[in-house]
Chain A
Amino acid sequence: MSFLDIRNVSFSYNQKRMVLKHIDLGVDKGEWVAILGHNGSGKSTLAKTIVGLLHPQEGAITVGGIVLSDETAYDVRRKVGIVFQNPDNQFVGVTVRDDIAFGMENLSVPRADMLEKIRFYADKVGMSDFLDKEPSALSGGQKQRIAIAGILAMQTEMIIFDEATSMLDPSSRRELMDYIRELHDEGLTIVMITHDIEEALWADRLVVLKDGAVFADDTAENLFKRPDAFREAYLELPAALRIYYEMEAAGDMTPPLAETLWRLGSGR
C-alpha cells in the first residue's frame, strides 16, 4: 500500500452533483505528485478529504497505515499538512511565533520542546528574524513559508500545496518552489495542486483530474505526447510545446527545432 492511498473515493456536497467520482490514487513515500485539473475538477475537494476536512460518502483514505475517520483525523493531520492558496486565510496568531506554535499547541507539545522547535523550523524556512513580527506585515511568500514551518514542526511526513503559489509574484513563486524542492530532497512527500504546468514539471508524476475523476496519471514526458488528452481535460500545454505541435501540424518542423522546443517545454 502507498503512503497515501485513496481507494474509490466519492464525494458530493449536496447529493445532486458528484464532485469526486471513484478516485483511486496512490502516492509513495518521498514522491512528488502534481495534481492538475480545470476549475471545478475536484482538486481542492480531494485535498480537503485527505486531511479530513471533508468526509467522502464512499471509499477509504489511508495515510501512513492509518485509515482516516473522525477518530483518527488528528493522527492523520500529524502525518500530512496542507498549505492553502490564500496565505491570509491560514493565520491565527498575533505573531509569527504564535502561528508556528498553533499546530503544536493542538497536539499538546510541551512548552520547552515547542520553543525549541519554533526556533529550529523558523530557521529552516529562513524566517528566524521574523518571529516577533505580525503575520500581516509579511509578504505572501514569507507567509507561505511560515505556514510550512508550522506544518513541519508537527513532524509531518507529507505536505499538500493547494495552489499555494498562485497568489505570489514570479520571484516569490520561484523562491518558494526552490524551497519545496529542498524539502523534497530531504525526503518530504509532496502533493502539489496547481494550474501552472511549468510548476507541475517539477513533480515525478502528473495526475490529471477531469470532472471529478482521474483522467490521466503519468509522467510529464509521456503526457506531453498526448496533446489531445490535454485539450480534452481543458488544460494547456507549456507555450514551447503548443508551438511545437502547431509547427508540426503545419509541416514546418525541422529536427533541431523539434528537439529545442521539446526540451524547453518539458523542462529537460
Chain B
Amino acid sequence: MAIRFRQVSYSYPGYGFGTYEAIRDVTLDIAATGEFIALVGQTGSGKSTLAQHMNALIFPTEGTVEIFGSVVGPKRDKNVKYNELRRKVGLVFQFPEYQLFEETVEKDVMFGPTNFGIPEEEAREMARKALELVGLGSQYLRRNPLNLSGGEKKRVSIAGILAMDPAILVLDEPTSGLDPRGKKTMMDLFRSIRGATGKSIVVITHDMDLVYEYMDRVLVLDRGRLAFDGTPDDLFRRNDLERLHLDHPSTIRVLKAVSEKLGIDLDVYQKDIASAVRELAKAVRP
C-alpha cells in the first residue's frame, strides 16, 4: 500500500474557543497503482483536510499516516524527507488557477521541476510532456495563462503537478466551475492519465453523476468520520444516502421516478444515459 491512514484525527487550533476536529479516527489504505477514488461528503466534512494528509502537507493530531514507507505522525521526524513525500503524492488544490503566476504556460509548468533542481532543458521537456498529457498542445506554450479559459487554466495547473512525475495524484474539486463538457473532458483526462501511467488518482467531488460513471471506489466523509469505503454501486444502493448528505446520481433519480409514476419494474441502477435508455427500452417494448 502506498498510503495507510491509521486512526487519524486532526484538529484545527484556535477556532473560537477550543479546537475544531476536522477528521476523526480515519483508517484506510490507498494502493500506488490503478485506483480511481472519489472522496465525497458535504462542505465541512473534512475532505480537504484528509487530502492534505496524503502528502504530509499537514500532520495528524492523533494517529499516523504512512506514505510510501515513511511514517508521518503528530511530531516532525528528522529522518523523514517530507519534501520527497510531497513530490511523490502530487496534490492539486481547489482553484489551482489562482496560483498561476508566470508569463507563459510553459514557464508556469516548468516552475515545479526547476524548483526541485532539474536543469532547464530537461524541465522544459517535462513541461511539454505534462501539457500533452492534459491535452494542451504546443500552441499553448507561449500563451499567457491569465488569458486562458477556466478549464484551460485548471489543466495548466494539473500539468504543473504532473511535470514533477508524482506516484499518486490527489485533486481537490478539479471539476468545480467547469461546464458539463469540461467536466467530462477532465474525468476522461484522469482516466487516460491512469491508463497511460497506471498512477492511482484521488478526486474530491460533489458530483454524484461523475462518481457513478467514472470511479471505482468512494470514500464518504460525514462530520470528519469515514462513513463509507466501497464501490459506487454499493453506495448508491444504500437507502440512507440522505443521512450522509448525498444525492443519488441523476440516472437513478430519473429511473426511480419513472418506475414509480408508470408502475413498471426497472433496474434503476444504471451508470450512464446509454444504459438507462437500454433498461427503459427493455421495459416498455411489447
Query: Which residues does A use to contact B, with CB under 8 Å?
Result: 13-14, 37-40, 85-86, 133, 137, 139-141, 163, 166-172, 195, 197, 234-236, 238-240, 242-243, 246-247, 250, 252-254, 256-257, 260-261, 264
CB–CB B16/A171 < 8 A: no
Distance in angstroms from B99 CB to nearest chain A CB is 13
Indicate if B77 sits at the interface (CB-CB under 8 A): no
Cα-based distance from A166 to B177 in the complex (angstroms):
6
Contact segment of B24-32, B63-71, B128-136, B273-281: B273-281
Q: Mark B235-278, 1 if CB is under 8 A from A, else 0.
A: 00000000001110011011001100110000000000110110
Partner of B284, one of A13, A137, A254: A254
Cα-based distance from A71 to B41 in the complex (angstroms):
47
CB–CB B245/A252 < 8 A: no
Q: Which residues of B contact A86 (CB under 8 A)?
A: 95
Q: Which residues of B contact A253 (CB under 8 A)?
A: 284
Cα-based distance from A260 to B49 in the complex (angstroms):
42
Partner of A140, one of B43, B150, B274: B43
Cα-based distance from A227 to B285 in the complex (angstroms):
24
Known A13-B147, A247-B277; judge A195-B254 contact (CB<8 A). Answer: no
Query: Which residues does B use to contact A, with CB under 8 Å?
Result: 15-16, 41-44, 95, 147, 149-152, 173, 176-182, 206, 209, 245-247, 250-251, 253-254, 257-258, 261-262, 273-274, 276-277, 280-281, 284-285
CB–CB A264/B245 < 8 A: no
Nearest A residue to B282 via CB reads A252
CB–CB A260/B284 < 8 A: no
Q: Which residues of A contact B151 (CB under 8 A)?
A: 39-40
Q: Which residues of A contact B281 (CB under 8 A)?
A: 247, 250, 252
Cα-based distance from A236 to B179 in the complex (angstroms):
9
From B253, B254, B261, B276, name the one whose CB has the most chain A CB atoms within 10 angstroms.
Answer: B254
Partner of A252, one of B178, B246, B285: B285
CB–CB A139/B177 < 8 A: no
Partner of B257, one of A40, A140, A168, A260: A260
CB–CB A252/B284 < 8 A: yes
Nearest B residue to A256 via CB reads B262
Q: Which residues of A contact B254 (CB under 8 A)?
A: 239-240, 243, 261, 264
Nearest A residue to B178 via CB reads A39
Q: Which residues of A contact B247 (CB under 8 A)?
A: 170
**Can you list 26 pairs linking A and B with CB atoms under 8 Å apart?**
A13-B147, A39-B149, A39-B178, A40-B149, A40-B151, A137-B16, A139-B44, A170-B42, A170-B206, A195-B177, A195-B178, A195-B179, A235-B179, A239-B251, A239-B254, A240-B250, A240-B254, A240-B257, A243-B254, A247-B281, A252-B281, A252-B285, A260-B257, A260-B261, A260-B262, A264-B257
Partner of A243, one of B44, B176, B262, B273: B273
Cα-based distance from A141 to B179 in the complex (angstroms):
21
Q: Which residues of A contact B277 (CB under 8 A)?
A: 243, 246-247, 250, 252
Nearest A residue to B273 via CB reads A242
The 8 closest A-B pairs by CB, nearest first: A40-B149, A239-B250, A236-B180, A252-B281, A169-B42, A246-B277, A39-B151, A240-B254
Partner of A166, one of B43, B176, B284: B176
CB–CB B179/A39 < 8 A: yes
Partner of B181, one of A141, A163, A197, A236: A236
Q: Which residues of A contact B262 (CB under 8 A)?
A: 256-257, 260
Cα-based distance from A163 to B149 in the complex (angstroms):
15
Distance in angstroms from A261 CB to nearest chain B CB is 7
Q: Which residues of B contact A40 (CB under 8 A)?
A: 149-152
CB–CB A38/B258 < 8 A: no
CB–CB B43/A257 < 8 A: no
Cα-based distance from A195 to B177 in the complex (angstroms):
8
Distance in angstroms from B45 CB to nearest chain A CB is 8
Known A243-B280, A257-B280, A261-B258; judge A172-B43 contact (CB<8 A). Answer: yes
CB–CB A168/B43 < 8 A: yes
Q: Which residues of A contact B181 (CB under 8 A)?
A: 38, 234, 236
CB–CB A169/B257 < 8 A: no
CB–CB A234/B177 < 8 A: no
Q: Which residues of B contact A239 (CB under 8 A)?
A: 209, 250-251, 253-254, 273, 276
Distance in angstroms from A218 CB to nearest chain B CB is 19
Cα-based distance from A239 to B210 in the complex (angstroms):
13
Q: Which residues of A contact B179 (CB under 8 A)?
A: 37-39, 195, 234-235
Known A242-B273, A250-B277, A261-B258; judge A171-B180 contact (CB<8 A). Answer: no
Known A166-B177, A243-B273; judge A38-B182 contact (CB<8 A). Answer: yes
Distance in angstroms from B94 CB to nearest chain A CB is 8
Q: Which residues of B contact A250 (CB under 8 A)?
A: 277, 281
Known A170-B247, A252-B281; judge A195-B95 contact (CB<8 A). Answer: no
Q: Which residues of A contact B251 (CB under 8 A)?
A: 239
